[in-house]
Amino acid sequence: MNKIIAIQGAEGSNHHKVARDFYGDNIQLKECMSFDALVAHLLDGSATDGVMAIENTIAGSIIPNYALIDSNNLHIVGEEYLNIHHHLMALPGQTIKSIKEVWSHPMALLQCKEFFKKYPHIKLVEDVDTAEVAKRISKENIKGVAAIAPKIAAEIFGLEVLEDDIQTIKDNSTRFVIVQTQKPTIAPDIINKASLKFQLNHKRGSLAALLNVLSDCKMNLTKIQSLPVIETPWKYSFFVDVTFDQITDYQKLVKIIEIMAEEFKILGTYKNGRK
């Protein structure tokens, strides 16, 4: 069966770039305007795989996506890290002086606000999606308007990049996870990272004891995130990511957590995406 990749956003978005980096150029996309819609396509079978942003070096964790993955029993099968670059693009033959408005997602506009202080004649207009704006400018041949979008959008829609890397903070990276409804078969010698969820009792030191177990089992804790358990006030689930060198160390860890935790769930085992 051909893979149909559900992405948040439109063709030409950062999610599209991640899908292309992970699966190659020959992919079929299912564009979704929300992460809830993305998950719905996975659950009804109209998409086989999904690409979801999960954390960003500036904005932090995208907490609702942890809950979406957990509550819908999705399996994390891989990950990609992407440096976020914002580029100013318009129809060919235009200059910044001829641009009257810039349309883009509110977050992209915010991250590029300093750049536009040099161009007070340009009006910044919030829109639904970076890549969708680039597509609209191209399709409707809109002059005098530019988009802030990833460079992949300029390539796809035939736009000209007027300025590269206009974001204020240059070192901005997002981690994306690849999710499926079915648990995949991945060769043990490829697996060196795992995403886990557990709940602990309220005994003093219970979390510290479990963190010590991670260290004893030679795990490198790369992420820990707590989410409240909705049905039980003041109780929390912990989501952790660990990397490891030996699969046997990870298998030992799983056996111990199964004993220590009140609830335990493996969200995914996969290859570390950090190059």
pLDDT of 202 strictly over 80: no
What's the pLDDT score for residue 275?
65
The beta-carbon contacts of 130-134 under 8 Å, at least 24 apart in sequence, are 130/9, 130/12, 130/13, 130/14, 130/104, 130/105, 131/9, 131/10, 131/11, 131/12, 131/13, 131/16, 132/9, 132/10, 132/13, 133/103, 133/104, 134/12, 134/89, 134/159
CATH number (domain holding residue 56): 3.40.190.10
Q: Which residue shows structure tokens 């100013």?
A: 88
Average pLDDT over residues 4-24: 95
Count other Cβ atoms within 10 Å, centred on residue 248. 12
With 0-12 CB in 10 A as exposed, 13-18 as middle and 19+ as buried, what is 160? middle
Question: Does any domain span residue 187?
Answer: no
CATH number (domain holding residue 223): 3.30.70.260
DSSP-based three-state secondary structure for 146:
strand
Whether residue 243 sits in one domain with residue 120? no
Whether residue 48 sits in one domain with residue 176? yes
Whether residue 148 sits in one domain with residue 176? no
Q: pTM for the complete prediction?
A: 0.91
| β-pairing verdict for 173-180 and 75-83 | antiparallel
Whether residue 94 sits in one domain with residue 58? no
CB of 221 closer than 8 Å to CB of 211: yes
Total domains in the fold of the chain: 3
Among candidate residues 180, 206, 235, the one where a domain is terminated: 180
- CA-nearest of 138, 112, 137 to 124 is 112
Question: Does any domain span residue 185?
Answer: no
Q: What is the mean pLDDT of the chain?
A: 94
What's the pLDDT score for residue 1?
56
What's the pLDDT score for residue 141?
97
Average pLDDT over residues 51-71: 93
- The mean-pLDDT minimum among 151-155, 202-206, 219-223 falls in 202-206
Q: Residues 6 or more apart from 20 whose CB is under 8 A from it?
A: 27, 152
CB of 6 closer than 8 Å to CB of 42: yes
* Residues spanned by the domain of 101: 88-163
Whether residue 197 sits in one domain with residue 143? no
* Rounded Cα distance, 275 and 263, in Å: 32
pLDDT of 63 strictly over 70: yes
Whether residue 149 sits in one domain with residue 96? yes
Average pLDDT over residues 15-32: 94
What's the pLDDT score for residue 66?
95
Percent of the chain with pLDDT over 90: 84
Whether residue 92 sits in one domain with residue 71? no
Question: Does any domain span residue 96?
Answer: yes
Whether residue 176 sits in one domain with residue 63? yes
pLDDT tens across 159-168, in order?
999 999 999 9
Average pLDDT over residues 79-83: 96
- CA-nearest of 155, 16, 174, 160 to 83 is 174
pLDDT tens across 234-271, in order?
889 999 999 999 999 999 999 999 999 999 999 999 99
Average pLDDT over residues 90-105: 96
* Rounded Cα distance, 198 and 15, in Å: 29
Whether residue 137 sits in one domain with residue 25? no
